[in-house]
């Protein structure tokens, strides 16, 4: 088992249950010194894709999962890591019980572009399903987005 931090649509416990059925949720927490952003608009079928970038004054809500090797391989496929779309990086997550070293996906593309309204809605719903604080979910829902797909 290895620890994985979900920050995008994988925050949704139901989605992770389907994608990684052998990998339980361990806890939630914050990636401090990182911010949620979007990029790789040319790679998304419906606008820019979520990613994180280092930022000393920001933080990103995450759900931490104990991932089995089998589920990690499956998740790599879902996230396009096996195609080079996302790469894995180690980060520190602050939880109520202390700090954890985990891995997460970072988009291997330039920052910029807008996500579609539907993608941003799924991301916001996922954060809400993961019990992210209401102000965090509200800020996600207020982010600029494309009003229609490509």
Distances (CA, A) of 50 to 10, 18, 24, 53, 112: 11, 20, 23, 10, 10
Determine how many CB atoms are found less than 10 A away from the CB of residue 61: 21
3-state secondary structure of 46: coil
Q: Is residue 88 within 8 Å of 104, Cβ to Cβ?
A: yes
Classify residue 121 by its DSSP letter: H
Tokens 């890591």 found at: 81
Q: Residue 72 has which token pair?
A: 């990690």
Q: Which of 108, 115, 107, 124 is nearest to 150 (CA)?
A: 115
Of residues 18, 42, 70, 79, which has the active-site annotation?
79
The verdict on whether residue 136 carries a ligand-binding annotation is no
Active site residue 79: yes
Which positions make up the binding site for substrate?
A: 119
Active site residues: 79
Which positions make up the binding site?
A: 119
């Amino acid at each position: 088992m290895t620890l994985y931090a979900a920050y995008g649509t994988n925050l949704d416990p139901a989605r992770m249950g389907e994608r990684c059925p052998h990998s339980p949720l361990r806890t939630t927490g914050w990636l401090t010194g990182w911010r949620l952003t979007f990029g790789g608009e040319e790679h998304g079928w419906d606008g820019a894709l979520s990613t994180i970038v280092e930022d000393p004054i920001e933080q990103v809500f995450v759900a931490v999962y104990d991932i089995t090797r089998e589920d990690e391989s499956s998740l790599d496929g879902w996230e396009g890591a096996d195609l080079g779309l996302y790469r894995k990086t180690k980060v520190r997550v602050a939880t109520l019980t202390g700090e954890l070293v985990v891995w997460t996906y970072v988009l291997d593309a330039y920052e910029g572009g807008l996500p579609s309204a539907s993608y941003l809605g799924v991301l916001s719903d996922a954060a809400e399903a993961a019990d992210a604080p209401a102000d965090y979910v509200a800020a996600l829902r207020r982010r600029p987005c494309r009003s229609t797909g490509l």
